[in-house]
Every structure is written in C-alpha cells, then in structure tokens.
Structure 1
C-alpha cells in the first residue's frame, strides 16, 4: 500500500525564481526575479495540439500534421512565466503586442530569450532527458 500512496500524493512541483536580465530592476536598482513554473504533461499536450500545422499533401493525396516547434516554444514559454504576468494588458501595450505569446519576443534580447528558454527546459525536466541522451551517445 505504501507504494500506491506515493503515486497518489506526489510532491508539488514548486515554482522557481530566476533573474532573466539585469535590465529589469526594482526602484533600488536590484534585478527583478521572474517566477517560472513547469507545465503538466496534459498542458504540454494541449499546446502541441494547438501548434500542429498541416503539411502539404503527398502524391497520394495524404496530408500529415507536423509540430511547429517555434510556435510551441513561444506558447510554452508564455505559459510557464508566472511573473511578470504576460497576460496583463499594460505589459502587452508597453511592448506593442496583443497576446501573451508575443510579449517575450519584443521584451527580451535574443540572448535573454535563449537564457529564459534554457531555464524553462530545466524547469520542465527536458534538459535531464537531453543530458542522458548525450551520455548514451558518448558511450
């Protein structure tokens, strides 16, 4: 019974704090911490479904769906950022966009965007998977 209980009461995945850039500071000049969260597998699946694009039909008239990885990354990042709240109208207006998914592209430099993306891969457990694959490939 002890094993089943462990599956019924998992440890909560805690949000983490991360300084994306020293450009965003409080009134005292201290870098602002962003709050990031992990997506559940279900949330990720729903995002993937939203990011499918229809691939051109083959000669046999059969079309297929492919994941638009760039769109998925953009939507995933917007969902994982808790603070700042990218859904706030004021922040969207400030960066000249009309949806949360577009804020980060205008708000961050390309290096900051990559740093945030890499951190979110960590938060969601993807980098652990990649590290294991790299170790396997080296052996």
Structure 2
C-alpha cells in the first residue's frame, strides 16, 4: 500500500493548482437514502420482504454518540476513558435507521421499553439479523470502506 501512495506522489506546484471548490459547502453529493432487506421475516401484504431504510449520519453526531457512551473511571489513581463500543455502534445504527423507527411510540409501547436499542434487539432477535443490521449501518456510515475501495471509487 505504501508503494501505491508513493507512485501517486505530486510536486508542490501540482498541489497548489488543485481546485478546492469541490470541497466547498453545497458542492458535495447529498447523502443517499438506502433501502436494504435485513430480515426475511418481515413481509408486506403481498409477501415481499420489507426493506429497512437507512441514511448516514453526520460525523458531529457520531462524535456526540461516542461521548454519550464514554465512561470515565479511575484505575490505580489514573483517569481512564472507556467507550462502550457495543452500545455506541448500536446507537449509531438506531440513528442511521429511518424505517423502522426504533424510537417510535408504538414500538416502545409494544416492546415495553423506552430504549430503542433494546427494541432493535427484540425486533431482530433471530440469529444474524441484529449483526446484519449493525454491519449494514456501519457500511452506510463509511466504517467498512477500505483504502482499496476508496481508491477504486476515485478512479471511476
């Protein structure tokens, strides 16, 4: 991978002449709304699988979710921050999922909990569903992009 980066080296004049307007507000591609099936168990009246609907969330919101899931502890006189990563990524997934809305009052009442993460776990209780949902939300938010995938996208 280092060789790939070295082969794409640029001199300072080339860097100076690059157009930065692509990065100005309003010039980037809008975040897409994505439909994807998570479970074969949820079917509409015609027997079709009901897809979940997703939209990536902003970096600032992801940072705030991480902060909400960070606990400060003292261990041998040292202050340590520990992130509950399971809860962090689950909360990112809840906020990435537009449909079903795991925060909806109907679902909270039906599952007898106010915690949308617990609702998601109860809805997606069959082996693999919850994990597939978490993985899809991670992918939508760019956590699964590899250097090679990004490089291939840049070429296209």
TM-score (norm 2): 0.75
> CA 1:64–1:130 in 2, change beyond 3 Å: closer, same or farther?
farther
Take 2:127 and 2:73, find their aligned partners in 1: how far apart are those partners? 29
Whole-angstrom distance in 2 between the partners of 1:2 and 1:91? 51
Give the equivalent residue in structure 1 for 2:130: 113
C-alpha displacement at 1:92, in angstroms? 1.7
Coordinate RMSD, CA, aligned: 2.0
Unaligned runs of 5+ in 2: 1-16, 150-156
**Unaligned ranges ≥5, structure 1:** 133-139
Q: 1:55-74, aligned counterparts within 5 Å? A: 55-58=73-76, 61-74=77-90
Higher helix share: 1
Partner residue in 2 for 1:124:
141
Q: Is 1:15 aligned with 2:33?
A: yes
Q: Which protein has the larger Cα radius of gyration, Structure 1 or Structure 2?
A: 2
Choose from 13, 21, 33 the match for 1:5.
21
**TM-score, reference length from structure 1:** 0.84
